[in-house]
Structure 1
Amino acid sequence: MSDSTTLQGYEAKRAQLASESLSLCDDFNKFSDECSFLCDAFAAVAREPECITPETSEGIWYVCYKLKIRIRGYRDQIDEVHKGLQALKLKQ
């Protein structure tokens, strides 16, 4: 394989990883805002324990479960970008 082909492949992969990283950062910023809102909501509910009905408790559990799944998704996406960057670094 020629040096120019190798360089083109490297640059294409680098551009792809940069794009994925920027998109991931944008998504995570939105997620962070949602989490901030939810923390405020949970704090408000905790200040009024009499309002915690079984339905409220179930809702809190559901939201926490969804947050956990999204966090795992972000972790997996970050791991993929990290692996890609490590692979590029090794090719240099």
Structure 2
Amino acid sequence: MSESTPTPQGEAARRKALLSTLVSLTDDLSQFHEECAFLCDAFAAVTHDPACITEETSEGIRHISYWLKHQVKSYYERVRDIHEEVYHHNKQASKNHDQE
């Protein structure tokens, strides 16, 4: 067996690691979803009384908006990394299958 051909144990470990990464991402996205729902409700409440939008409130909204932007970017990158791993895994598996 060549070095580029993964062992069944290596394949199982790789699948387990990928599954763990997906579970972690799903858990993180679920928590992020809850935080976003809370923030959307808070933003909606603030707009009902524009007089309460003080300089501090405005700065808080700016800060939260910046945080949200970076959280979404981070999740996109994590999903992209998983996609790339699956793509390369499938490409390698196809290559190994063709060599058999």
TM-score strictly above 0.5: yes
CA RMSD for the aligned pairs?
Answer: 1.8
Superposed displacement of residue 5, structure 1 = 4.6
For the residues of structure 1 that align with 2:66 and 2:92, how far apart are their CA atoms? 39
TM-score by length of structure 2 reads 0.84
In the alignment of these two chains, the number of paired residues is 92
Counterpart residue type for residue 61 of structure 2: I
Identity %: 42
Q: Flag structure 2 segments of 5+ consecutive residues without an equivalent.
A: 94-100
Q: Which has the larger radius of gyration?
A: 2
Runs (4+) off by over 6 Å: none
Counterpart residue type for residue 72 of structure 2: I
TM-score by length of structure 1 reads 0.90
More relative contact order in 1 or in 2 (CA 8 Å, sep 6+)? 1
Q: Flag structure 1 segments of 5+ consecutive residues without an equivalent.
A: none
Q: Is the 8 A contact 1:45 1:51 kept in 2?
A: yes
Identify the structure with the greater helix proportion.
1
Q: What residue in structure 2 maps to residue 12 of structure 1?
A: 13
